[in-house]
Amino acid sequence: MRGWRLLTQAGAQVLGRSSGSLSAALPPPSGNRTNICLRGKNGTWWDEHLSEENVPFVKQLVSNEDKVQLASKLCPLQDEPWPIQPWEPGSSRVGLIALKLGMMPLWTKDGQKHVVTLLQVQDCHVVKYTSKENHNGKMAALHAGGKTASRFQLGLLPKQKVQIFRVTDNAVIKPGPPLYAAHFRPGQYVDVTGKTIGKGVEGIMKRWGFKGQPATHGQTKTHRRPGAISTGDVARVWPGTKMPGRMGNVARTTYGLKVWRINTKLNIIYVNGSVPGHKNGLVKVRDSKLPAFKDFCKNLPFPTYFPDRDEEELPEDLYDKNVWQSSEPSITFA
Amino acid sequence: WHQGKGKTLPSVVCRPGRQQSTGPSEPGAFQPPPKSVIVDKRCLPGQETRFLSPEFIPPRGRTDPLKFKLERKEMLERRKVLCIPELYVGSILRVTTADLYASGKTSQFLGICIQRSGSGLGATFILRNTIERQGVEICFELYNPRVQEIQVVKLEKRLDDGLLYLRDALPEYSTFDVNMKPVSLEAGQEVPVNKLKVKMEPRPWSKRWERPKFNIKGIGFDLHLTEEQMKEAQKWSQPWLEFDMMREHDTSKIEAEIWEEIQASKNS
């Protein structure tokens, strides 16, 4: 298999190097085989030739550089941004990339309990702009990047996830400024896309929801099997028949999730219900495309929320009008 | 005590209507007994019992600690409004909730706490009582806004952490008088442990309570099981579990952080 071949190649490289340079020092014990295959063809890792004192120094240096770079992008006014255009019916704006933190209960003022997912926006920046013609001819596209990742893990941009948002021409933003959670407001509806939790190979009852067979009444070794897979006349199995196989680890979207609350200080969005993906996974959040919520963004910050440009400071917590807050007294039905 | 309208006192203005209790006017005058104010001593800001409710301790997992901090902030804010007393499995509680379909819009339930589960804002406890010879269990959420009052009628602990076996016990062990008066403890006294051994209904039970995985000490097994059956149950014991290092989870650092957060929120 291809994987085994890579491993043997990497192994041969290690052995070749160590036998060739007998006088040189052996690689540090952290340089095991798995590290080498992840680095690709050059077969080295970032701290191979650094001495022990220099490793923390380089780490500190790089993280300081990253912080300075991020901080310089925080003020888009210095960058001569593009003019902000007003909202028109039919325009769509950028979305965000957020991290799924977990889930929590939330109560409304009439005593109903709802469950919300917390999505935290960490270092979301607009990375690239592609005009209508370059992209696909219909709409312009903005690339937004998610969580900042370590420079040494990837060879590309230090962003863990980059997603494309199809945007109308009046909502384009010059690449650079960060996007905040206040881009969304409580009471609006969003669509959230994420990669579902991978379950590996699963049977048809879990994967496709088949009913299976009864547990008793004479069933011989048949409790979770599909039964018949095709008719007799066709004399073959239709392509695309539902069968066991790999389930999960696929991008899926949940539509029409209501935003209950936004924490502007920590950049957290509280979204109704559940969201595809595991905890600490990255998801793409954008305004809902459902026809019921068309043209919802007329009251929302367009093209996005710029903290230094707006006149008034937003409070730390923004709530939907129906949400019961913990500092309020207990609910009574008078 | 009738209204002292007819009394003529030299230096006091005659007030119309009921005599107000504004302090002693004369050394011999009648002073009505002071109104007894029932104050829950455990919720006073001065009392420090150092009891950390188990729902504050986050479960083991790879969740971001920021999420638990946000939840704890909400829980502490709710605790400032509603006094949630220290409650153990085995104590008897009376809970008042807002109910849309009840007359007076509130409903009360008294029962013994048989289980506390969940962590964070969704923490729950189950109260059990027998009403007209029918066993009733209600699961309440600690931080639900419809809960208006949680009153501890009798604070005590039992030998076990879960009393689910009361479902298979004789009904007298789950029956409590709904109008029970609260039993108060002196301040500073430790929580009493009730070493009651419960008598059960004849077998089969809903769960095999004699098996070591439940680790139940509060049932009188000698009345219902023979020595052989007890030995048979020990076949399912897992003596290596107490030496399993992967199951060890030291929560002292997390608890220290949580105590600091509680102190900070009390001071603010």
Q: Which helix (H) or strand (E) holds A205?
A: helix A204-207
d(CA B145, CA A105): 12
Helix then strand then coil, in percent of chain A rounded to 5, is 20, 25, 55
Residue B245 falls in which region: left (phi positive, over 0), alpha (psi -120 to 50) or beta: alpha
- One-letter amino acid identity for B224? H
Tell which residue, B224, B230, B122, B119, has the closest CA to residue B165.
Answer: B224
CA distances from B215 to A3, A295, B156, B219, B256 (A): 49, 60, 20, 10, 29
Helices (H), B19-166: 65-81
**How large is the average pLDDT for residues B114-142?**
94
Interface contact flag, B98 A332, Cβ < 8 Å: yes
Answer whether 0.90 is exceeded by the pTM. no
Tell me the shortest Cα–Cα distance from B106 to chain A, in angstroms: 8
Interchain pair A111, B143: CB under 8 A? no
A180 vs A125: CA distance, rounded Å: 9
Of A102, A326, A332, the CB nearest to B78: A326
Q: Which of B28, B26, B20, B25 is nearest to B3 (CA)?
A: B20
Quote the CA–CA distance of A48 and A31 in Å, as a whole number: 8
Count of CB atoms situated within 10 Å of the CB of B82: 18
**Which residues from B are below 8 Å from A281, CB to CB?**
none
Query: In this complex, do B147 and A330 lie within 8 Å of one another by their Cβ atoms?
Result: yes
Determine the pLDDT at residue B22.
Answer: 55
Please give the full DSSP string across A29-98, using - where no structure is assigned: TT--HHHHHHH-SS---TTSSS-TTHHHHHHHHHHHHHHHHHHHTT-GGGG-PPPPPPP-TT-----EEE
Nearest CA in chain A to B98: A332
Report chain A residues touching chain B, CB-CB < 8 A.
99, 101-102, 104-105, 107, 111, 113, 118, 120, 263, 266, 268, 279-280, 324-334
Query: CA B261: distance to chain centroid?
Result: 23
* Size (chain A), residues: 334
Closest by Cβ to A107, choosing from B64, B77, B145: B145
Q: What is the pLDDT of residue A56?
A: 87
CA distance B213 to B237: 7
C-alpha span between B137 and B140 (Å, rounded): 10
Q: What is the pLDDT of residue A229?
A: 92
- What's the token pair of residue A81? 């941004």
Query: How far is the C-alpha of A13 from the C-alpha of A45, rounded, in Å?
Result: 14
Annotate B154-177 with DSSP letters as a single string. E--EESSS--GGGGGB-GGGG---
Distance CA A286, CA A192 (A): 7
- Residue A67: the pLDDT is 75
Please check the confidence at residue B14 and state whether its pLDDT lies above 60: no
Task: Name the residue facing B77 among A280, A326, A333 (closest C-beta).
Answer: A326
Three-class SS of residue A299? coil
Residue of A nearest to B76 (CA): A326
**Chain B interface, mutation test: which of A319, A326, A328, most B Cβ atoms within 10 Å?**
A326
Measure CA of the first residue to CA of the last residue in chain B; give whole Å: 47
Q: Distance between CA atoms of A286 and A184, rounded to whole angstroms?
A: 9
Q: From the candidates B144, B147, B148, B268, which should be mutated to test the interface with A, based on the most A CB atoms within 10 A?
A: B144
Q: What is the pLDDT along chain A (334 residues), one digit of tens a residue?
A: 554 555 555 444 444 443 433 433 444 444 444 444 445 566 777 777 888 888 888 888 888 877 776 666 554 444 556 777 778 887 888 888 899 999 999 999 988 999 999 999 988 878 777 777 776 666 777 777 777 665 554 434 467 777 777 777 667 777 777 788 888 889 999 999 999 999 999 999 999 999 999 999 988 899 999 999 999 999 999 999 999 999 999 999 999 999 999 999 999 999 999 999 999 999 999 889 898 888 777 778 877 787 777 667 888 899 999 999 988 888 888 7
Report how far residue A96's alpha carbon sits from residue A119's, in angstroms, rounded to the nearest whole number.
Answer: 10
Q: Count how many residues are written for chain B.
A: 268
* Cα of B155 to nearest chain A Cα, Å: 24
CB contact under 8 A, A104 and B121: yes
Asked if B81's CB is within 8 angstroms of A330's CB, the reply is yes
3-state secondary structure of B106: strand
Buried b (16+ CB within 10 A) or exposed e, A54-67: eeeeeeeeeeeebe
pLDDT, chain B, mean: 85
The one-character DSSP state at B248 is -
Do residues A116 and A272 make contact, with C-beta atoms less than 8 angstroms apart?
yes
How much is the pLDDT for B39? Answer: 54
Which H or E element spans position B109? Answer: strand B106-117
Q: Name chain B contacts of A328, Cβ cutoff 8 Å.
A: 81, 145
Q: Which of B64, B121, B144 sits opposite A280 (nearest CB)?
A: B64
A54 alpha carbon, distance to own chain's centre: 34
CA–CA dist A120, A125 (Å, integer): 14
Q: Is the pLDDT of residue B168 over 80?
A: yes
- The minimum CA-CA distance between B42 and chain A, rounded to whole Å, is 20
- How many CB contacts within 8 angstroms connect chain A with chain B? 74
Contact B146 A331 (CB under 8 A): yes
Q: Please name the amino acid found at residue B33.
A: P
- Per-residue pLDDT at A120: 93
Mutation target to probe the A interface, by most A beta carbons within 10 A, among B55, B70, B83 is B70
Tell me which residue in B62, B81, B105 faces A327 most closely, judged by beta carbons.
Answer: B81
Beta strands per DSSP E along A199-242? 200-202
Distance from CA of A165 to the nearest CA of B (A): 27
Measured CA to CA, the distance from residue A94 to residue A245 in angstroms comes to: 36
Backbone angles phi, psi at A10, to 5 degrees: -65, -40
String of DSSP letters for B200-245: BPSSPPSS-TTSTTT---SB-GGGT--HHHHHHHGGG--GGGGG-G
CB contact under 8 A, A327 and B121: no
Torsion of CA A24, A26, A28, A34, to 10 degrees: 120
**Per-residue pLDDT tens over the stretch B30-73:** 777 766 555 555 565 555 567 889 999 999 999 999 999 999 99
- Chain A residues inside the 8 Å CB shell of B141: 105, 113
User: How high is the ipTM of this complex?
Assistant: 0.78
Report the gap between the CA of B72 and the closest CA in chain A (Å): 11
Model confidence band, residue B153 (pLDDT cutoffs 50, 70, 90): very high
Pairing of the two strands A245-247 and A96-107: unpaired
Task: Give residue ranges of B with CB < 8 Å to any A CB.
Answer: 61-64, 66-67, 70-71, 74-75, 77-78, 80-82, 98-100, 105-106, 120-122, 141, 143-148
- In the numeric block, the tokens 């007329």 are attached to A298
Q: What is the pLDDT of residue A77?
A: 45
- Judged by CB atoms closer than 8 Å, whether chains meet at B147 and A102 is answered as no
- Report helix, strand or coil for B17: coil
Q: Do B143 and A330 touch (CB under 8 A)?
A: no
Burial readout A317-334 (b: 16 or more C-beta within 10 A, e: otherwise) = bbbbeebbebeeebbeee
